[in-house]
C-alpha cells in the first residue's frame, strides 16, 4: 500500500498509537519504515542566557557565567540526545521482534520545521503524527500536527488511538475525484486491518435557506428585485428541498460502484448537516475509529493547502483521521513559501488501482446554457451528477431534453427554453 512511511514519536500516547499503526502497515512487502524524534536543546540554552541577568550575585562574574554556560549546554545537549534515542528504543525493539527494519532519523530544531525537512528529504507517501504531543490540552489538535497538515501533501494519519480487530472505517464522499481516491485508500486500509468500511455523503439543506434569509433582511425591496431574489429563492428551494439529497445519493452510488470494482464491499450512509460535523458525529455514533477524507473536495482553490471540511474533521474527530493526498500530490512537501510548489522525490508505489475514467461527455450548447442557469454554488455538483447518470446509461452526449429529464429526476427545476428570461 505504501512504499515509504515516516512515523514521528515523542512518547505521547497518541504517537505510540501511531507507531503501532506504522508497524502494522510496514509488514507489507516493499515498505520502508522511517522513525524520527525531534528535540530542541537550543531552546533551553537560549532560555538559560535570558535568565542570566536575574541569577544570584555570586554567579554574575563573567568567568563563573561562562563555566555555567558550558556545563549547562553540555548537559542539555547530551541529555536531550540520549532522551531522543530513548524515545525510539521500545519502538525499535518491537519492530525487530516483528522482523521489520527501521531507519532512525534524529534531528535537532523546531519539531514541525525538522519534520517538514525530513518529508522533503525522504519523500514518504504516508506521514504518521500523534494528534497531540506531551503538551496535550483537552481534545485539541497539537500545534505541530496542525502546522504539518498544511505543509505536506502526502497522506497524513492523525493518530489518536489503536486500531484493533473489528474496527469500523468511515470514508467521506462528495462526488469529487479527491473523495473517490480517498475511498480507494480507505478500502485498502480496511482490507489491511480487516475493518468494516462505511461510505458517508453529507449535505447541508439549511445553509442556503439561511443565506436567503440574510439577503431578505439586508437588501432593500429595490435591490431584491434587481437580483431576482424571489426567482432565485424558488429555484434554490427546488434544489435544496429534495435535489441535494438525490444529488449526493448519486455520488454515494458512484463511490459504491467504484468500491465494488476494486473488489470491496461497503455500507452507504446519506447524512444531513454541515459535512465535517456530520462525519465527526457519525463516526462517534457508529463507533468508527478511522475517518478517511480527501485533502480537497469539490471547491478546491490553489491558494489553500487543505479543504475546510477535511481540516475541521482532522481537528474535531475523536477517531483517527487519514487525510488522503491529492491524486497529483503524493509524496511531496510544500516549500516554506507555499504557493503549491513542491519539493522532494515522489514515490514510485502506485495508488490503489481504480477503473479508467470514461471519455469526456459532450454537452450540446442548449444544454450548457440551461446548466449555466443553475445557481453557481450547485453547478459543479449538478454537472457531475448529470454526467454520472448519462454515463451509467451508456450515453456520451447531453442535449437539452436529456439535461432537463435528468435534472427533474433530482428534483431540480432546470428552467425553460434557452434564452428564457432574456426577452424584454
Q: What is the pLDDT of residues 61-116, one digit of tens each?
A: 677 677 666 665 666 666 666 667 777 999 999 999 999 999 999 888 889 999 99
Supply 312's cell numbers.
475541521
Q: Is the pLDDT reported for residue 341 higher than 90?
A: no
CATH 1.10.8.550 domain position(s) in the chain: 358-424
Q: Is the pLDDT reported for residue 255 higher than 80?
A: yes
Confidence of residue 330 (pLDDT cuts 50, 70, 90): very low
Q: Is the pLDDT reported for residue 424 higher than 70?
A: no
Q: Is the pLDDT reported for residue 421 higher than 50?
A: no
Which pLDDT score, from 0 to 100, does residue 358 have?
45
Query: Which CATH architecture best describes the domain 1-162?
Result: 3-Layer(aba) Sandwich (3.40)
Domain 166-326 in CATH: superfamily?
A: HUPs (3.40.50.620)
Q: What is the DSSP letter of 152?
A: B
Cβ pair 283, 311 in contact under 8 A: no
Domain 358-424 in CATH: superfamily?
A: Proto-chlorophyllide reductase 57 kD subunit B (1.10.8.550)
Supply 265's cell numbers.
464491499
Q: What is the pLDDT of residues 196-250, one digit of tens each?
A: 999 999 988 765 555 555 555 565 677 656 666 566 666 566 556 567 788 889 8
- How far, CA to CA in Å, does 283 sit from each of 18, 189, 269, 291, 311? 19, 16, 11, 7, 16
Residue written as grid cell 450515453? 395
How far apart, in whole angstroms, are the C-alpha atoms of residue 296 and residue 326?
Answer: 7
Provide the β-strand partners of residue 5: 33, 126
Residue 318: closest CA among 10, 21, 14: 14
Supply 412's cell numbers.
431540480
How far apart, in whole angstroms, are the C-alpha atoms of residue 215 and residue 54?
Answer: 60
CA 45 to chain CA mean position, Å: 37
Supply 47's cell numbers.
532560555
- Read off φ and ψ for residue 108, nearest 5 degrees: -110, 130
Most distant CA pair in the chain: distance in Å? 93
Q: Is the pLDDT reported for residue 399 higher than 60?
A: yes
CATH 3.40.50.620 domain position(s) in the chain: 1-162, 166-326
Which pLDDT score, from 0 to 100, does residue 313 have?
98
Cβ pair 6, 75 in contact under 8 A: no
Amino acid at each position: 500500500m505504501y512504499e515509504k512511511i515516516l512515523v514521528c514519536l515523542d512518547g505521547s500516547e497518541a504517537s505510540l498509537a501511531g507507531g503501532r499503526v506504522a508497524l502494522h502497515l510496514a509488514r507489507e512487502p516493499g515498505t520502508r519504515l522511517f522513525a524520527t524524534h525531534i528535540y530542541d536543546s537550543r531552546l533551553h540554552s537560549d532560555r538559560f542566557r535570558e535568565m542570566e541577568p536575574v541569577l544570584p550575585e555570586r554567579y554574575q562574574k563573567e568567568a563563573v557565567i561562562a563555566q555555567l554556560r558550558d556545563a549547562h549546554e553540555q548537559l542539555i545537549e547530551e541529555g536531550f540526545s540520549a532522551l531522543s534515542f530513548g524515545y525510539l528504543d521500545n519502538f525499535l525493539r518491537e519492530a525487530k521482534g516483528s522482523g521489520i527494519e527501521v531507519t532512525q532519523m534524529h534531528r535537532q530544531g523546531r519539531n514541525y520545521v525538522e519534520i517538514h525537512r525530513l518529508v522533503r528529504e525522504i519523500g514518504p507517501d504516508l506521514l504518521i503524527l500523534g494528534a497531540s504531543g506531551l503538551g496535550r490540552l483537552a481534545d485539541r489538535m497539537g500545534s505541530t500536527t496542525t502546522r504539518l497538515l498544511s505543509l505536506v501533501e502526502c497522506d497524513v494519519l492523525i493518530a489518536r488511538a489503536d486500531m484493533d480487530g473489528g474496527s469500523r472505517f468511515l470514508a467521506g464522499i462528495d462526488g469529487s475525484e479527491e473523495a473517490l481516491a480517498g475511498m480507494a485508500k480507505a478500502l485498502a486500509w480496511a482490507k489491511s486491518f480487516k475493518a468494516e468500511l462505511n461510505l458517508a455523503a453529507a449535505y447541508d439543506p439549511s445553509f442556503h435557506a439561511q443565506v436567503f434569509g440574510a439577503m431578505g433582511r439586508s437588501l432593500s425591496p429595490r435591490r431584491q428585485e434587481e437580483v431576482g431574489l424571489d426567482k432565485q429563492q424558488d429555484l434554490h428551494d427546488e434544489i435544496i428541498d429534495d435535489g441535494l439529497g438525490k444529488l449526493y445519493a448519486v455520488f454515494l452510488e458512484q463511490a459504491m460502484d467504484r468500491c465494488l470494482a476494486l473488489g470491496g464491499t461497503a455500507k452507504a450512509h446519506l447524512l444531513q448537516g454541515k459535512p465535517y460535523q456530520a462525519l465527526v458525529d457519525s463516526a462517534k455514533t457508529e463507533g468508527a475509529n478511522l475517518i478517511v477524507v480527501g485533502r480537497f473536495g469539490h471547491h478546491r482553490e490553489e491558494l489553500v493547502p487543505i479543504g475546510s471540511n477535511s481540516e475541521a474533521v482532522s481537528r474535531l474527530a475523536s477517531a483517527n483521521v487519514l487525510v488522503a493526498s491529492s491524486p497529483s500530490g503524493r509524496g511531496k512537501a510544500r516549500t516554506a513559501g507555499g504557493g503549491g510548489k513542491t519539493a522532494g522525490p515522489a514515490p514510485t508505489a502506485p495508488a490503489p488501482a481504480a477503473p479508467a475514467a470514461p471519455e469526456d461527455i459532450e454537452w450540446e450548447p442548449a444544454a450548457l446554457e440551461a446548466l449555466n442557469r443553475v445557481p453557481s454554488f450547485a453547478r459543479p455538483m449538478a454537472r457531475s451528477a448529470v454526467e454520472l447518470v448519462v454515463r451509467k446509461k451508456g450515453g456520451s452526449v447531453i442535449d437539452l431534453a436529456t439535461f432537463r429529464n435528468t435534472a427533474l429526476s433530482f428534483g431540480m427545476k432546470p428552467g425553460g427554453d434557452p434564452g428564457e428570461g432574456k426577452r424584454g
